[in-house]
Structure 1
């Protein structure tokens, strides 16, 4: 018996009845011979972890633009914190941790440089709009591996495609918009649990807000410290979901309301704070001008490292290239393209 089969057999014995078992996966678009050691979801996790888009998350904005302090979150550390929260929930509920981790590690691969400021610009410029969720799926299906994609399982792609809440409710009202697996539901909740807490933590560290600024009705429910708030929310997800008999992974109504209230408070006092907003306005102009440059100079894609497909619209190629940039790559490229170089005599 190969190692993978032993792991799959263990899943059958130990996972919850609502968990997604590796042996029951709906498979990949392109069939492959199974790995003798790893399950399909372990393979997916490893492919994401080793892909270039994952490594670039290290230099992509979470809240603060190219932060100079060593302890501020980036898109990569956000991803790792989401993975930790989601795995804790999954283990407590008897779900498939490998599937959970794969979805969590891949959920933000399509994020633009400069956070949501870059996303808003591309959404305005690209025909049909641009969302980081769809771009994350495009990264794993099309863009990685020189255009071959990662050929992930359908369950992982589904979880990536349905992780985002935007400014909407925690649970999508339409069934078609909800993750098909409980593991995907765990990541969807872990994402907001992680970011409202670590974004607040970074805002406190950066002096944007003070602890006393946080509404007392929120601290009374969620707690005053970062670890306390995460513990309260993770514990509530686990208890509420267990009480629901595994039918859904969810927060209790009171805690869900508190999380959304904290998200809205952060939007007003942190994400749109004058000092933060001012820098993101500058970043948005960089994204817009880079987009315009590559539409006007399509021959320059390959010069700067992007391979455009022959049948691909220019707008799609420009969006793919810019969305894949890190903050520092976009800043350096902008300087190279638009800043004059001082003349030096020979």
Structure 2
């Protein structure tokens, strides 16, 4: 009997990938079993489900760092996602790990981000009784919010990678192994996320006039590279070579590059993310999220939850939290204006 294209792809994985890779035919599965596809492996199906989701399409109008910047070349949450995917796939391919799984995790890792980026996340976290974290919200979206409450029904490996990608202020490679994704592919995305934003945020900071090239620590650039391309290339090579050296026991980065990468990340927190220029706009955005949350708790009938395919239920704080988290920057601002700014009467 002829093998289907999916079966041929699964056979190719067995023949080509490292024994330590995650094989699509050996996935831990989905919460709701489905019939296999003749054309795509399970991880390829997950990637496609994420790419065609409504949450993914909204990423193009969500903040990366700079809120509503003037110009066409600043990163959004969507372009960040694509850069993470590119870096992660390059690493996975070199290590002969499952590139499809890496891509699926990368494409879904930031689906739960609020309007105004981390500013909106911190605002909701301070308000919502059970706390709000974008990584948990990303999993919530793929499990129970998309497709009118059905969720995307993704494989366990993809959900685990999405859940454990976030680092906040902790080190890029966690000392606590329980904080790291179970699969090597998920660990790749966690590292690629940092490598992507460290480098493209420098680019955006310089473009926005908040950073200057001459202000970047020269001692770090001499090691990592003086251009975005040089830095990404050396960092990626540092991940590949060190992970090979430890025989793929876990995904790591050579210390000679990891320490300056961490130092460059700290430089960005001190000189970009937490600067008065960025925080001034962040304070305004935080106020928008806070006031919308309080407003919808008092006026739940003003939420048009159908716009995001949300299903009504009795947990109002959760529903308000989901509704605001789904908003793009522009939609949040327009909603705020409608709720709080008086209309001019002709």
Alpha carbons 1:162, 1:177 under 8 Å: kept: yes
| CA distance in structure 2 between the partners assigned to 1:208 and 1:171 by the alignment | 28
> Deviation at 1:215?
1.2
- Paired position in structure 1 for 2:297: 295
> Deviation at 1:246?
1.0
- Paired position in structure 1 for 2:197: 195
- Paired position in structure 2 for 1:25: 27
> Deviation at 1:68?
2.2
| CA distance in structure 2 between the partners assigned to 1:87 and 1:192 by the alignment | 14
> Deviation at 1:178?
1.2
Which 10-residue stretch deviates more, 265-274 or 74-83? 265-274
Alpha carbons 1:14, 1:94 under 8 Å: kept: yes
- For the pair 1:153 / 2:155, whether they are aligned, the reply is yes
| CA distance in structure 2 between the partners assigned to 1:304 and 1:39 by the alignment | 32
Alignment of 1:281-292 (within 5 A): 281-292=283-294
- Paired position in structure 2 for 1:51: 53
| CA distance in structure 2 between the partners assigned to 1:209 and 1:304 by the alignment | 41
* Structure 2 length-normalised TM: 0.97
Which 10-residue stretch deviates more, 186-195 or 204-213? 204-213
User: What runs of 5+ residues in structure 2 fail to find an aligned partner?
Assistant: none
- Paired position in structure 1 for 2:238: 236
| CA distance in structure 2 between the partners assigned to 1:119 and 1:167 by the alignment | 14
Give the count of matched residue pairs: 344
| CA distance in structure 1 between the partners assigned to 2:219 and 2:66 by the alignment | 27
Alignment of 1:212-291 (within 5 A): 212-291=214-293
| CA distance in structure 2 between the partners assigned to 1:4 and 1:312 by the alignment | 42
> Deviation at 1:303?
6.8
> Deviation at 1:173?
2.6
> Deviation at 1:128?
2.1
Q: Secondary structure at the match of 2:70?
A: coil
Alpha carbons 2:312, 2:319 under 8 Å: kept: no
* Structure 1 length-normalised TM: 0.97
Cα RMSD (Å): 1.2
Q: Deviations over 1:124-160 (max 9, x none)?
A: 0011211000000001001100110000000000000
> Deviation at 1:312?
4.0
**Residue number among 104, 107, 117 corresponding to 2:106 in the alignment:** 104
User: What runs of 5+ residues in structure 1 fail to find an aligned partner?
Assistant: none
| CA distance in structure 2 between the partners assigned to 1:200 and 1:84 by the alignment | 18
Alpha carbons 2:305, 2:323 under 8 Å: kept: no
Alpha carbons 1:59, 1:66 under 8 Å: kept: no
> Deviation at 1:313?
1.9
Change (3 A) 1:307 1:46: closer
Q: Secondary structure at the match of 2:148?
A: helix
Q: Secondary structure at the match of 2:153?
A: coil
> Deviation at 1:315?
1.3
| CA distance in structure 1 between the partners assigned to 2:245 and 2:305 by the alignment | 57
Alpha carbons 2:18, 2:97 under 8 Å: kept: yes
- Paired position in structure 1 for 2:335: 333
Q: Secondary structure at the match of 2:132?
A: coil
**Residue number among 63, 67, 70 corresponding to 1:68 in the alignment:** 70
- Paired position in structure 2 for 1:320: 322
Q: Secondary structure at the match of 1:168?
A: coil
Q: Secondary structure at the match of 2:110?
A: coil
Alpha carbons 2:146, 2:309 under 8 Å: kept: no
Runs of 4+ aligned residues of structure 1 deviating over 6 Å after TM superposition are: none
Q: Secondary structure at the match of 1:147?
A: coil
